[in-house]
């Protein structure tokens, strides 16, 4: 349906623009360089014939494909983000194209001995004979979520070029700063004006997701007392030792590397310490709301116990909720998931319905009044040097978008939950 080289060229034109976000910035977008791709996308949408193309002061992009049917059809939307993760550099991305993948090791960088191997990344074997786009081993790729953008733009272009395909009004939205949890913060749901939407932000082909973690971030600050070590007895308080006690008091097996599916975790991702002060940064995740609240309570309780032990406030915990499980907002409108599932079946794809071990703009948008399940974009190994995406998966995701548009426009389509 969608010509392969056209997909490749569009995707590469996006990933070679550095759009890394910055969690320490208070601006939106958090980095000025995100404007480079945002402006490019706005111009491209106008060039392919999209209507009502807008880009606001925070780089949020919206556009409309008008309905071409003479009866009332729900307004649907498709959403992706154009920033890349600050976990690993997205500057100077040099994509490599692997034609007809043979199922063996891929040398990403010979000089640095960086290898993408199916012995470690078994999913590679799903794509024997396919065309893969990889990194050169020194950066991430940016398929999260420039694959999603590629697919949405390509699907809209296809519908514009094939007016015989009937569809209702379609809105698309591209956001900054999703990777730092702010992608939906300034998204104008009322202006977007869709009855529901889909984020194209999943991984493996076939993924269809409508539940995600409840999420919070925590900063644990441990205060010590610095004294000359030669005269420290009974006086020095080494914050790093207390921080170690705090870390070890949390369940060691409830961490990302030991959990899967709906199992929650505590993830310590940054430590910065000295005798005088140590800061620990955590993310807290759980699909179950009760368990999520219990995790937050546990972190505060550990701090209280250490403070009682030292008879002073040596540990403080600041916890901020980030997003919640969108399942409670999707279940009342499950027909929108069923439509996506049907669209995949029509594209010859077996849907993989599973919980997201993370979050998307869709989780926040669902709580803002825009129910928003998540559909695969096709990439694997996000946020690092081993990221890759099969071109055929991007083609199929594009086809799924077109199929959803067609299904929603069918007069006989039922939009009520089946009993």
Reported as a single tens digit per residue, the pLDDT across 377-418 is 999 999 999 999 999 999 999 999 999 999 999 986 655 544
Residue of 83, 207, 209, 399 marked active site: 83
Helix (H, G, I), strand (E, B) or coil at 20: strand
Q: Is 383 within any annotated ligand binding site?
A: yes
CA dihedral (2, 99, 379, 177) positive or negative: negative
Q: Is 144 within any annotated ligand binding site?
A: yes
Q: Is 321 within any annotated ligand binding site?
A: no
Q: What is the pLDDT of residue 417?
A: 44
- CA–CA separation, 238 and 183 (whole Å): 39
Reported as a single tens digit per residue, the pLDDT across 208-242 is 999 999 999 999 999 999 998 998 899 999 999 99
Helix (H, G, I), strand (E, B) or coil at 67: coil
Q: What is the pLDDT of residue 360?
A: 77
Q: What is the pLDDT of residue 414?
A: 58
- CA–CA separation, 291 and 264 (whole Å): 8
Q: What is the pLDDT of residue 322?
A: 85
Could you tell me which residues come within 8 angstroms of residue 251 by beta carbon, excluding any fewer than 6 positions away?
Answer: 266
Q: Which residues of the chain have pLDDT under 50?
A: 417-419
Q: Does the annotation count 83 as an active-site position?
A: yes
Q: CB-based burial of residue 407 (10 Å sphere; 0-12 exposed, 13-18 middle, 19+ buried)?
A: middle
Q: CB-based burial of residue 182 (10 Å sphere; 0-12 exposed, 13-18 middle, 19+ buried)?
A: buried
Q: What is the pLDDT of residue 413?
A: 61
Residue of 157, 178, 195, 361 marked active site: 178
Q: What is the pLDDT of residue 419?
A: 35
Q: Which tokens go with 12?
A: 């590469």
Structural domains of the chain ordered from first start: 4-212+325-408 (3.40.630.10), 214-322 (3.30.70.360)
Q: Does the annotation count 418 as an active-site position?
A: no
Q: Which tokens go with 77?
A: 């939307």
């Amino acid at each position: 349906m969608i010509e392969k080289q056209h997909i490749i060229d569009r995707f590469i034109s996006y990933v070679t623009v550095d759009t890394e976000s910055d969690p320490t910035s208070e601006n939106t977008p958090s980095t000025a360089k995100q404007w480079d791709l945002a402006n490019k996308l706005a111009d491209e949408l106008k060039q392919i014939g999209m209507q009502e193309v807008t880009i606001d002061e925070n780089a949020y992009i919206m556009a409309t494909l008008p309905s071409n049917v003479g009866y009332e059809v729900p307004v649907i939307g498709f959403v992706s983000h154009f920033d890349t993760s600050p976990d690993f550099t997205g500057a100077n991305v040099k994509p490599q194209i692997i034609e007809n993948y043979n199922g063996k090791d891929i040398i990403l960088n010979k000089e640095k001995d960086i290898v993408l191997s199916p012995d470690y990344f078994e999913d590679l074997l799903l794509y024997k004979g396919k065309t893969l786009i990889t990194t050169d081993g020194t950066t991430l790729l940016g398929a999260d979520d420039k694959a999603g953008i590629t697919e949405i733009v390509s699907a809209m272009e296809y519908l514009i070029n094939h007016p015989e395909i009937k569809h209702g009004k379609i809105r698309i939205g591209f956001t900054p700063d999703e990777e730092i949890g702010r992608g939906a913060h300034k998204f104008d749901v009322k202006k977007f004006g869709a009855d529901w939407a889909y984020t194209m932000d999943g991984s493996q082909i076939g993924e269809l997701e409508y539940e995600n973690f409840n999420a919070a971030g925590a900063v644990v600050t441990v205060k010590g007392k610095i004294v000359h070590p030669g005269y420290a007895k009974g006086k020095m308080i080494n914050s790093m030792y207390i921080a170690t006690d705090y870390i070890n008091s949390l369940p060691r097996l409830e961490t990302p590397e030991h959990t899967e599916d709906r199992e929650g975790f505590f993830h310590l991702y940054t430590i910065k310490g000295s005798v005088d002060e140590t800061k620990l940064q955590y993310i807290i995740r759980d699909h179950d709301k009760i368990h999520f609240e219990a995790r937050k309570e546990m972190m505060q309780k550990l701090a209280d116990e250490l403070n009682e032990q030292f008879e002073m406030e040596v540990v403080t915990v600041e916890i901020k909720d980030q997003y919640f499980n969108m399942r409670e907002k999707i279940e009342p409108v499950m027909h929108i998931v069923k439509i996506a599932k049907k669209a995949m079946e029509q594209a010859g794809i077996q849907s993989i319905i599973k919980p997201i071990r993370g979050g998307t703009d869709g989780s926040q948008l669902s709580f803002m009044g825009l129910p928003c399940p998540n559909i695969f974009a096709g990439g694997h190994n996000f946020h690092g040097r081993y990221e890759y995406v099969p071109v055929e998966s991007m083609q199929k995701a594009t086809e799924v978008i077109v199929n959803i548009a067609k299904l929603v426009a069918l007069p006989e389509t039922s939009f009520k939950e089946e009993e």
